[in-house]
Each structure stands twice: as structure tokens, then as C-alpha cells.
Amino acid sequence: MKVVFLSVSWPREMQDYVRGLAAVGAQVLGVGSDPVHGIPPHVRACLHDYLQVPNIMAEDDVIARVSAWTRGTTVDRVEALWEPVVILAARLRERLGCPGMSLDTVMGFRDKQLMKERVAAAGLRVPHAFRVRSADDARKAAARIGFPLILKPIAGAGSADTFRVDDAKALDAILGRMGHVREASCEEFVEGDEFTYDTVCIDGRPAYENVAQYLPRPLIARTEHWISPCIVTLRDLEDPGLKDGIALGRGVLDALSMGTGFTHMEWYRKADGEVVFGEIGCRPGGAHLVDQMNYTGDIDLFVEWARAVVHGRFEASTARKHHCAIVFKRAHGEGVIHHIAGLDGFLARNRGHVCTEQLLRPGSRRRDWKQTLLSDGFVIVRHPDLHQCLRIAREVQEGVQLYAR
């Protein structure tokens, strides 16, 4: 099977999906903006062929170039797992006559307002929301929804340019920061715990499911520098507190006509137990969430996703062995990291429960924590008992500190 894969080396985790495709026997026709010599050798070894394009985001140009490049070749699939190019992949499928999710279907996963409308039409609970294209639109929507509310890009990813707005004065201030956003969703703020629902689907049916909880909610984590954000994948999907969220997620997949591939959804559980849809993408979660899921069950979802795409099968065990937490660290101070405190003791105490530790080392320039959840590195830990997993994660949050100057 010949598979066109868009953006083979960026973001970094795309390289693992290329590996997965090659591992299940696909001929990978890679497309990207990097010169071929700039692609890591282990990734090049997985490629059957490669097309460098001037700008992977220039959809019409990429479609023309890929069409010419593959003329005379039967392309069986076009795949993309990076949010900004999923629409390009859908357009290429239609141009090349490949099976897979159509442009209209993928728009339901990319356009946040259309997404909510389709999910609501299926009778599922979504936040009250309006599409806004101007400051005036936003003020009118706010008057209808009431405060607090959320303002975020229609085609955004993660929590970038996403704001909680508590009153009219705050709305005016935030609108002044969103001039570069062409369309936004102005929506009800749902108070509650925030979770993910992640799947690998085959023809719309989940072959693998995952639930993770954000600690704290991303909107809070992105506003306070001192927080070490944590995401924990939960071992026990039969937990009664997760049942309604999983049912909601399955309903969303039906409502949006999901095909084959990864999905990553966010949902809320209110204090009264009501579950509310947040948003969903037809791609995996970022920030090493797939690595967490792999550690949760001791499997390789990069390969299993590829097997689903190429062969229509999922062969790994879906048994969940561990709760698994990732903790992101932010250095104190600015400039260059000069010291890490508490790490050696933490590792000595928790040997056997630490999956990986990838903190920036002294001499590294610290990152802008407002621009990347990865911040100044992370630690992934796991344990069969949730209380113990969270205890170990708290040790990272409270006892391991990076300092910069």
C-alpha cells in the first residue's frame, strides 16, 4: 500500500508515525518543507520516496505538486496527524481519488462552531456558542451567553489564543490581543473537571480508547507560571465517573462520521455529574499524550494506528496496566538554566515508576512557557494505583525545581 504522509518530520512525533507505517509494510511517500538531508536518517530509512515543497501550509501549491509527483502512481491513502494540515490531507484525498475522510467530514473536526452544531444536532450537550468575526460580533455573543465565557480560534489547536473572559472590561482587553485571529468561537464557560477521550478508530468504531484528566485545567495552567501542569491517563475506564464521558465521546464520533485514525477529544464533568462536550480533532493529542498511552498499556500506538490505516486491524492488547502521569516543569528565573534541585533524590526514591525524564539540562536556554506546554521539560511516571501515581507526580511538581538566570 502506498501512503502519502504529510509533514514527515515536524512536529517531532510525526517521525514515529512514519516509523509505524513502514513497520506494517506501507510504502511511505513523504511530503514536507524540510530538505531531504534535513530529515533524520532513521526517518529517511522509512520513506519510499520524498517530495520537498516550499511551504506545507500553501494548500493549493502542495496539491498541485503532489498531484504531479504521483501522476501514474496509485495512491492508496493520504494521512496527516498534525492539526494544521488535516484539511490539506482531505483535499488531497479528493483530488487523488483516495478513500478516507472527506473534506466535509474533516471540516466537522476542524471548524469548532460547525463541530458543535453537528454534535448538538445529535442531541449531545455542547457549550452554547457563536461564531464571531469581529469585536462587535464578540460583544453581541457575550451579551447572549453571559459571563464567564471562553473566546478561542475557530481553527485553533491546544489552548493557543484561548481565554476565559469574566466581564466586559476583560473582553475588551482580550479582543485587543486577538486581532490576528480571523474567526473565533465565543462560548459558554463550563465549570468542572476536564478530561480527554482519545481513540484509534477503524471505520468509525473505537478499537482503542483512553481517558486522561488535566490537573489543573489547561486554562488555569496557562495563566500561572508557578504551576507544574500534569496530565494523567486513567487505568480504569470502567470507573462510574467516566462512563458518561466515554458514552458522550462515542456519540460524538457517530455525529461527526469519524472514519479510520486517531481522535483526541476534550470534555467536562460538572459538579452535578453532567458531562459536556468540549472539542475534538481527528488527530492524536500532542504533548506526549500518545507516549503516555503507550506506557499505560505497554503497547506501541504509533504502529497500531498504522496497522489500522493500512490493514484495518488493531492487534495490540487494550488491557490497561497503569495510571500514567506526565508533569511539565517551568524553570524559576529567566535566561539559561543553571541548576536542577531535587531530581537525583526523586529518581532514587521512585526507580521503577519513572518512564522517562526529559528536563532541560544546565546550560540550556529556557523556553517560553506561554508558547509551549512542554515548557522546560517533563517527567513521565506510572503506577497501578492511582493514589500512588498522583503521589509520585506531586513529588515532581513540588520537589523537583529548575532554576535559570
- CATH number reported for the structural domain that contains residue 400 in this entry: 3.30.470.20
Contact 285, 198 (CB under 8 A): yes
Helix then strand count (H, E) for the chain reads 14, 18
pLDDT tens digits along 249-282? 999 999 999 999 999 999 999 999 999 999 999 9
181 and 206 assigned to the same domain: no
> Is 198 a domain residue?
yes
13 and 80 assigned to the same domain: yes
345 and 200 assigned to the same domain: yes
pLDDT tens digits along 21-39? 999 999 999 999 999 999 9
92 and 23 assigned to the same domain: yes
309 and 357 assigned to the same domain: yes
Cα–Cα distance for residue pair 172/136, rounded to 1 Å = 10
Cα–Cα distance for residue pair 199/256, rounded to 1 Å = 14
> Is 166 a domain residue?
yes
The predicted model scores a pTM of 0.92
Q: What is the pLDDT of residue 86?
A: 98
169 and 250 assigned to the same domain: no
C-alpha of 93 from chain center:
23
Q: What is the pLDDT of residue 161?
A: 78
**The one-letter amino acid at 84:** P
> Is 382 a domain residue?
yes
Q: What is the CATH number of the domain that holds 140?
A: 3.30.1490.20
202 and 278 assigned to the same domain: yes
| Domain count along the chain | 3
> Is 113 a domain residue?
no
> Is 214 a domain residue?
yes
DSSP β-ladder status, 47-52 and 27-32: parallel
What is the chain's alpha carbon radius of gyration, rounded to the nearest angstrom? 21
> Is 106 a domain residue?
no
Average pLDDT of every residue of the chain: 95
pLDDT reading at 158 higher than 60:
no
Q: What is the pLDDT of residue 152?
A: 87
Contact 397, 230 (CB under 8 A): yes
Q: Give the residue numbers spanning the domain of 393.
A: 193-404
The C-alpha cell that represents 22 in the structure block: 513502514
**With pLDDT > 90 as the criterion, what percentage of the chain qualifies?**
90
